[in-house]
Amino acid sequence: MSKMSRREFLKKIGVIGVFVAFNNVASNMRRVATPLIKKGIGTVYPRAVKGASFGMMIDVGACIGCRRCQHACNLENNTPDEPSNMHWIDVFEMESRRPVSEVENIPPVGASLDYTDAPSPDHWYMSFNCFHCDNPPCTKVCPTGATYKDEDGLVLVNYDICIGCRYCMAACPYNARRFNWWEPQHPSSRTNPIDGSAVALNEDVPLRPRGVTEKCTFCVHRVRNGGVPKCVEVCPVRARHFGDFNDPDSEVSKLLKTVRTMRIRENLGTYPKLYYFTRGVKWTEDGEKH
């Protein structure tokens, strides 16, 4: 120890340090980080529509609880099968005598996710997916900026830089987010539950790796190219409406002016862009619409 002078010792340490830093740490970090930085955001979505504010309105009075939206969404967005068994849309069966205020809790008190032959008497249905809040609590807490609100109001996840801490899921008041607990299973072709035909994976939607969060994107690949989300398209009773709230001529803007609406847990100041409304139609015990 004493044979080496302090200066010499420091010099050696310094040389080793510089060597290690440049050849290992930095190059490794750069190798991993460069593709991310080049791509900008990692997961590539179509370019945001300038000046838009996309949102959805759901007619709970019209909804018959058939879950077609859920199945169509699963196929459209390549959500993993067993064991993840993930779906971005939850349709809760509500007892008709429960007050709407109990919807304030997510999932609603006493509601059931079990599939029944819908519509079943004395029940009504409440469909939940990501509300794409105007003031989203989930994007604020993200430590890497993997989840963000885009210019057109869509709250998206960059699957390439998500570290899987699940802080966004803790922050979300609506249980809208899903986590890839297992390696996602995507069979090359799946069966359409409605007509039994084979369905291939949708190539417009990126597959998610294990260990990241995901959620409803309002079918970003469709709506940014002028379409509507798959769930809106397949709804047999037109309970779901989609459009641009900033466009006064859009369907949802007109609806918002003419029907009475509510949003879930407005007291949290999240300003969800998913409104629930009903035109006073309700399924009753004899299964008739009144």
Partner 1 sequence: MSDTEKILRPIKHTSKEFYPFVASLAFISLIAVYAYSRQLSLGLGVTGLNDVTIWGIYIANFIFFIGISHAGIAISAAVRILKAHRYQPIARIAELLTIVSLVMAGLSIVIDLGRPDRAFLLIVKFVERFRYSPLIWDITAVATYLILSSTYLYLPMRRDIKLAMEHTSGWRSQMLGYLIPFYEEGEEATIDRLSFWLAVTILPVMVMVHTTVAWIFSLLSSRPLWFNAFAGPYYIVAAVASGIASVMVLAAVMRKLYHWEDIIRPDLFRGLSNFTAVTVLVYLYMMMAEQLAALFAGPAGEMFVSEEWLFGSFAALFWLMTTLGLVIPFLYMLIQAFKKDYVNITWTAVMSLILVVAFWFKRYMIIVPTLSIGVQEVGIYSPTWVEIVILLGSFALPLLLYSVLTKVVPLIEMEEAHHE
Using the minimum distance from each CB to partner 1, give the nearer residue, 170 or 200: 170
Is there binding between residue 263 and partner 1 (CB under 8 A)? Answer: no
Task: For the CB of residue 115, give the shortest distance to partner 1 in the complex, in Å.
Answer: 13
Task: For the CB of residue 51, give the shortest distance to partner 1 in the complex, in Å.
Answer: 25
Using the minimum distance from each CB to partner 1, give the nearer residue, 14 or 287: 14
CA distances from 101 to 17, 118, 282 (A): 63, 23, 17
Residues 65-104 that bind partner 1 (CB under 8 A): 83-84, 104
134-136-138 Cα angle (round to 5): 160
Q: How far is CA 113 from the centre of its chain?
A: 18
- Interface with partner 1 by CB under 8 A: which range of 58-66, 106-114, 115-123, 242-250? 106-114
Task: For the CB of residue 87, give the shortest distance to partner 1 in the complex, in Å.
Answer: 10
Q: How many residues bind partner 1 (CB under 8 A)?
A: 49
Closest by CA position to 170, among listed 143, 215, 146, 138: 138
Is there binding between residue 134 and partner 1 (CB under 8 A)? Answer: no
Pick from 48, 98, 167, 202 the residue near partner 1 by CB under 8 A. Answer: 167
Pick from 136, 173, 229, 243 the residue near partner 1 by CB under 8 A. Answer: 173
The CA distance from 221 to 112, in Å, is 31
Using the minimum distance from each CB to partner 1, give the nearer residue, 1 or 198: 1
The pair of structure tokens assigned to 13 is 């340490």
Is there binding between residue 193 and partner 1 (CB under 8 A)? Answer: no
Is there binding between residue 240 and partner 1 (CB under 8 A)? Answer: no
The CA distance from 47 to 212, in Å, is 23
Pick from 211, 246, 251, 255 the residue near partner 1 by CB under 8 A. Answer: 211
- DSSP letter for each residue of 173-232: TT---EE--SPPP--SEEE-TTT--EEEPPTTSPPPPTT-EE---S-HHHHTTT---HHH
* Residues shown for the chain: 290
Residues 3-32 that bind partner 1 (CB under 8 A): 6, 9, 29, 32
Task: For the CB of residue 70, give the shortest distance to partner 1 in the complex, in Å.
Answer: 15
Strands 274-277 and 54-59: parallel
Count of other CB atoms within 10 angstroms of residue 102: 13
Task: For the CB of residue 251, give the shortest distance to partner 1 in the complex, in Å.
Answer: 30
Is there binding between residue 148 and partner 1 (CB under 8 A)? Answer: no
- Beta bridge partner(s), residue 94: 124
DSSP 8-state assignment for residue 21: I
Three-state DSSP state, 46: coil
- Interface with partner 1 by CB under 8 A: which range of 69-77, 105-113, 227-235, 248-256? 105-113
Instruction: Report the interface residues with partner 1, using CB under 8 A.
Output: 1, 6, 9, 29, 32-33, 83-84, 104-105, 107, 109, 112-113, 137, 140-145, 161-167, 169-173, 175, 177-183, 209-213, 265, 268-269
